[in-house]
Amino acid sequence: MAELPPVRLGVHIFLAYGAVLVLRRPLEARWVTSAENVSQPVRQFFFDLTAGLSAGLLAAMLNRIFFEFPTGSLLSLIAGAFIYGFFIALDMSLSRERSVIQKALARDSFRAPPKRLYSMTRRFTLVAVATALCVTVVNLMVLARDMAWLTTVGTDPGAIQMAVLSIAYEVLFIMAVLLGLAINLIISYSRNLKLLFKNETVVLERVTNGDLSRMVPVATRDEFGLIAGHTNTMIEGLRHRIELLTALQLAEEVQRTLLPSHPPVVPGLDLSGTSIYCQETGGDYYDYVVLPENRLGVVVADVSGHGIDAALFMASARAYLLAEAQSFKTPALLARDVNRYLTRDSAPTGRFMSMFFLEIDARAKTLRWVRAGHEPAMVYDPVRAAFRELGGEGMAMGVVDTAEYRDYTQQGWEPGSVVVIGTDGITETRNTADEFFGAERVRQVVRANASRSAAGIQSAVIEAVQNFRGEASQEDDVTLVVAKLM
């Protein structure tokens, strides 16, 4: 092969590569570009490696037919074509990967994390090892050929010197070519890494600023593709969480509208009420119900549990209670009818509700109440400086639809008497020492603030509860209604 004129040798090599180039585009469209985007770079590499090897085999076959190349020269030609095709295939694969990344960025397309991971470190190691082997094989082939040639130079010092320089120049030239190909691969690989970093960081910067409208295109099956896919999963989770928070905020606003915006004006009564939920929504409820003959109903209820489901159950109970209050007769009958509806609704869920309903007749100075599994209300008599519980029997609502309830009555009160109706979220509030606030502390606060208005007494109790809790978290909803009897 060394004795063959370069032009004649180049013609056959040119014809071989020309034939491969003619067939390359249709075959590439059929086998590479028709594949899934993330699969195209790998296919591109094997396609161009096969094309380079095919060109080498075709050139070897032509030279064998027309010039009767020896087997050793044919193997050298095929090996050279394979090594050259290896570098070209790597470069074309990186170029294809870059094109896929740019298309993914332009289309803003995204995918789930790749099911099969082609590790970047493993791929880089294989390429580095393969490159080193190729360089080694080329050098060994050149050195073996040149060493054989040196044996034919003779003993003339000038000829030997010229031969050594010729071999050195040849080796330097080959190393320069291989180094240039390697540098080209490094630059191409760096361009891809830059795109992938940009691919990820641009979206993450938007997420940091609260913009969740973009996803990270998953353009590779390596670690960057895995990170991009999991980033998309994170963004979807954040979107879902924001939707839930928005829904919770809306539910909170709706629930707040179900509570009284202000107490009614009733001669002889001073009223104040509040509910503080431990979550965005809760199961506590209080209301004022205007009854016939200028009487007033005060209801405080507590649904088991917290959150959206408890709030929905509370909304249903409120609707039933207000509907039945239109034909109000006694607190016990009201509780009985509402219980029947709630039991039907609560059967699949196991939820229940405690309720205290107090009927106040300010003109007749009469209190009438029903207790459905709720904590007793308490009345403070400022004259005797004593408390009396408004207790009684009664099952929680939503448990048994045949439950019966009983009315309890108190005639008369001292002017300035204070009625306090709350939920167990007050008495069962715990501090950092795991101590309960308890009913006795409620009595102490009411007694110390009995001369204040109903709003003042209510604020004092709530403030005392919050101060007692300190740094501990609020574990239950807190609801309190204070009625000051004139």
Domains contained in the chain, CATH given: 6-236 (no CATH), 261-485 (3.60.40.10)
CA distance linking residue 51 with residue 17, whole number of Å:
9
Instruction: Give the closest residue to 361 by CA, choosing from 323, 331, 387.
Output: 331
pLDDT value at position 337? Answer: 93
Whether the CA torsion 398, 401, 406, 412 is positive or negative: it is positive
pLDDT value at position 10? Answer: 58
> pTM higher than 0.85, yes or no?
no
Please, which residues bridge with residue 378 across strands?
389, 420
CA distance linking residue 296 with residue 8, whole number of Å:
114
pLDDT value at position 1? Answer: 46
Please, which residues bridge with residue 286 across strands?
300
pLDDT value at position 459? Answer: 95
Whether the CA torsion 299, 304, 306, 312 is positive or negative: it is negative
Which parts of 18-98 are beta strand (E)? none
Instruction: Give the closest residue to 186 by CA, choosing from 124, 107, 239.
Output: 124
Tens digit of each residue's pLDDT, the chain (486 residues):
444 445 455 566 677 777 777 887 888 888 888 887 777 888 888 888 888 888 778 777 777 776 666 666 667 777 777 777 888 888 888 888 888 878 777 765 556 666 776 777 777 777 777 777 777 777 677 666 666 666 666 666 766 677 667 667 767 777 787 788 788 888 888 888 888 888 788 888 888 888 887 888 777 777 777 888 888 888 888 888 887 777 666 666 666 777 888 899 889 899 999 988 877 666 788 999 999 888 999 999 988 877 777 777 888 888 898 898 888 999 999 999 999 998 887 777 778 889 999 999 999 999 999 999 999 999 999 999 999 999 999 999 999 989 999 999 999 999 999 999 999 999 999 999 999 999 999 999 999 999 999 999 999 999 999 999 998 988 888 999 999 998
Tell me which long-range contacts 209-212 makes (C-beta under 8 A, separation of at least 24): 212/238, 212/239, 212/242
CA distance linking residue 81 with residue 273, whole number of Å:
89
pLDDT value at position 4? Answer: 47
> What separation in angstroms does the CA of 428 have from each of 266, 308, 375, 440, 450?
32, 22, 11, 12, 23
C-alpha count within 13 angstroms, C-beta hemisphere, residue 238: 17
Contact assessment for residue 280 and residue 251, using Cβ atoms and an 8 Å cutoff: yes
Those residues with Cβ within 8 angstroms of residue 377's Cβ, 6 or more apart along the chain or in another chain: 300, 356, 358, 369, 389, 390, 419, 420, 421
CA distance linking residue 289 with residue 327, whole number of Å:
12
Query: Residue 343 class from Cβ within 10 Å (0-12 exposed, 13-18 middle, 19+ buried)?
Result: middle
